[in-house]
Amino acid sequence: MTPRTTTEQPAAAPLLDLHALVVAVRRRRRVWCSLALLGLLLGTAVAVLLPPPPTAVTKLLVAHQEDQPNDPGTLIRTDVALLQTTRIAGEALRSLKSPVKPEDFMTDYTAAGLTNNLLQIEVAGETDAEALARAEALAEVFVADHVRRIQEVADAEAKALLDQRDRMRDELAQVNRSIGDGAPGSGPKASADRESLFARRAELTSRISDFDQRAAEARMGTPRLVAGTQIVDAPRLVRHSLPRTAATDAAIGLALGLVLGLAVSAVGAVVADRPVLRREIAANLGASVIAELPRRSAWPWQRRRVRAARERLTTSLARTVRGSGEPVSLLELGCERSASAIALELAGALAADGPVAVVDGLPGRRLADRRSKPGDPAVVAGERAATVPRKERLVGIGSVAPGTAWTDLRYLGPRTVLVVRAGHGSAAWLHTVARQLADQHIPVVGVVLIDPDPRDRTDGTLWEGPFTALRGRNEVPVRRNGGGTSHAVQAVGEGGQRTERLPMWAARVPDSDQEGQ
């Protein structure tokens, strides 16, 4: 009976790594800070260059026949909607004798209900006098229209009641004629008919009196509503403070620009897929992060820290090179200046042990064409590396950026240290670099991370990687099914034992356009 073996299942990768997203957005602070500053400037410019037009404000007290203490504001919202009609706007323009169209005039004023019975109107104009005149005309027209509607409703209600009263009177006259024309009789039927007619006459008389009273009450309530609808605050100009308006617009522009910048940065970070965390860079390159180096800072209090970090890195790399009998190259990705400085400092540290030469394999021969200072190590171009005497130690420097001649990298050194700037290369390109180095049988000693995120707390040690700082040079881990390593790590791990032909999953699917070409 064969024992059952269990395999470790890789942890499911999240659809969106919030930690990496936050770090990527923070690294793009120039983008969202620039957009926030642009919004601030645009808001200030709008306030200064486009000041608000002269505006007049007035308040009206509006009385309604259906006023109730628990009214949620429906009646005053109806008044606001009626004010925004072409009829009100047209009557106001006719009173002003203005040729402006009512549709255009409606865009120059706004109304708002402050309470259930208090209406505020703001009207803009070309000048202060025009704004005041427009506000006064609009208020008077609205009051007159509201009073007219109240009177029309009261008149219509009174007329309906009086018409009903007149019909009752006609019926009463017919009943009286029936009573007068009735023949006297002593029978029970005649007596019952007379009693029915008298009862009907009494009922009609009562209803006629009720309709007269209701018609009078309908007209009596109108003067109270008319008197309650009036202009309580005469039109006055609204004073605009330029500093306050500029500050408000600037704050709004700053907020909108900041939100837009953060959104653009977040979307760009997700679309670009450029690893910034140690664990992501180590996983895609198949090598551990052995050192970090901040970018050169212009602040005086940070220069000493950068210098100390560079010295520690130089000492560590020099110790690694001395412990190896083979040359070690530096291959940069997005940090050519930093990699060149590291190569020169490393060559200077190794000069105490003997003659050292730096082999410049960078595009454009940046180091070979520079002006050398006294005491600097010798720099030779890549094509002249064969002329260097064998007794001199070589320190190669090259690039793994798109367009790299991969077959020339081995001449810079059989072992390499990758100098990568965080957030520069995409995940697909880092994967391509790892696979190309595996094809050339160039072991990666480790990764020097340039410009790391200061708040990154992830682990950059690739415990299952083939060429980590914790393992020997020729040690290759045992490949397990579902071990959680990426294709790049598996490709590098098989580099020392496989033939030149890649397996199907590694050879037929290019990771990027550059690799496919």
270-299 tens-digit pLDDT: 888 888 888 889 988 988 888 888 876 656
Cα–Cα dist 58/441, whole Å: 85
Beta bridge partners of 329: 396, 416
Share the mean pLDDT of the chain. Answer: 79
Q: Residue 15: phi, psi to the nearest 5?
A: -65, -35
Cα–Cα dist 20/12, whole Å: 16
Helix and strand tally (H, E) in the chain?
A: 15, 11
Contact 165, 83 (CB under 8 A): no
Residues 178-187 pLDDT 10s: 777 765 655 6
Residues 236-266 pLDDT 10s: 998 888 889 899 999 999 999 999 999 998 9
First CA to last CA across the chain, in angstroms?
Answer: 51
Return the axis-axis angle of helices 128-181 and 74-83, rounded to nearest 10°: 120
pLDDT higher than 90, residue 109: yes
Count Cβ atoms within 10 A of the Cβ of residue 111 and give its class: 0-12 exposed, 13-18 middle, 19 or more buried: buried
Contacts of 29 by beta carbon, 8 Å cutoff, 6+ apart: none
- Nearest in space to 435 (alpha carbons), one of 362, 385, 370, 489: 489
* Per-residue pLDDT, 183: 57
* Per-residue pLDDT, 43: 93
Beta bridge partners of 59: 120, 233
**Which residue matches tokens 């790590």?**
489
- By DSSP bridging, strand 118-124 and strand 55-61 are antiparallel
* Per-residue pLDDT, 485: 43
Contact 273, 79 (CB under 8 A): no
Structural tokens at position 121: 């109107």
Single-letter amino acid, residue 240: H
- Nearest in space to 71 (alpha carbons), one of 111, 114, 115: 115
Scanning 182-273, the segments in alpha helix (DSSP H) are: 188-228, 242-272
pTM, full prediction: 0.59
* Per-residue pLDDT, 2: 46
pLDDT higher than 90, residue 64: no
Residue 400's pLDDT band (cuts 50, 70, 90): very high
Beta bridge partners of 113: 119
Contact 343, 358 (CB under 8 A): yes
* Per-residue pLDDT, 225: 81
Q: 341 or 368: whose pLDDT is higher?
A: 341
Residues 191-227 pLDDT 10s: 777 788 788 888 888 888 887 877 777 666 677 788 8
Residues 75-102 pLDDT 10s: 999 999 999 999 999 999 999 999 999 9
What share of the chain in percent tops pLDDT 90? 27
Beta bridge partners of 120: 59, 112
Give 433-462 as a DSSP string: HHHHHHHTT--EEEEEEES--TT-------
Quick one: DSSP state of residue 184? Answer: P
Range with lowest mean pLDDT among 121-125, 308-312, 320-324: 320-324
* Per-residue pLDDT, 478: 37
pLDDT higher than 80, residue 463: no
Residue 369's pLDDT band (cuts 50, 70, 90): low
Residue 71's pLDDT band (cuts 50, 70, 90): confident
Contact 370, 457 (CB under 8 A): no
* Per-residue pLDDT, 134: 94
- Give the max Cα distance, the chain: 158
H-helix or E-strand containing 326?
Answer: none
Structural tokens at position 314: 């130089």
Range with lowest mean pLDDT among 16-30, 140-154, 174-188, 384-398: 174-188
